[in-house]
Amino acid sequence: MHADHFSVTRVMIDGGREICVRLAGDLDADARTVLRRELYDAVHDNGAPLLVVDLQETAFVGSETIGALLDGLVRAQEAGKAVQIVNARGVVRTVLQVTGVLDLFGATAESSARLAAFDGGAVLPLPPAPALPAHWGRAAG
């Protein structure tokens, strides 16, 4: 999914053993719903045991993005998937470290190097997915 200031793309990596959600641009409140949908689909519509969130092209993460990442982490763990955040740099890495989010996701130099070397791939088609739980679309408060 692409918007004017962000994109979220899902790809299969390593022969289907990993599903990667690549984030790019400024992920603010506008990205929340799209990111939650992509993470939900990444967890539920494939058998990959590892979900990787690649932040190499991400310039900004807002609190809404952090909330969506945490929701995705919980959903992946409930589904028995391992989760990693890779390639978080600069202010994005700092924000994720300060908030404690980076510590919740496993991140290894090996996985970052493998993804950096991966030159892309076919974007997964978006098959019909189960409806999101009603509370996913509501604002907190």
Domain at 81, CATH number: 3.30.750.24
Residue 37 counted as domain residue: yes
The backbone torsions φ and ψ at residue 22, rounded to the nearest 5 degrees and listed phi first, read -95, 125
Domain extent at residue 50:
6-113
Banded model confidence at residue 110, pLDDT cuts 50, 70, 90: very low
Number of compact structural domains in the chain? 1
pLDDT at 67: 93
Determine, yes or no, domain membership for 29: yes
Q: Kindly state whether residue 89 falls inside one of the protein's structural domains.
A: yes
Cα separation of 67 and 135, whole Å? 13
pLDDT mean over 40-65: 91
Q: Is residue 131 part of a domain?
A: no
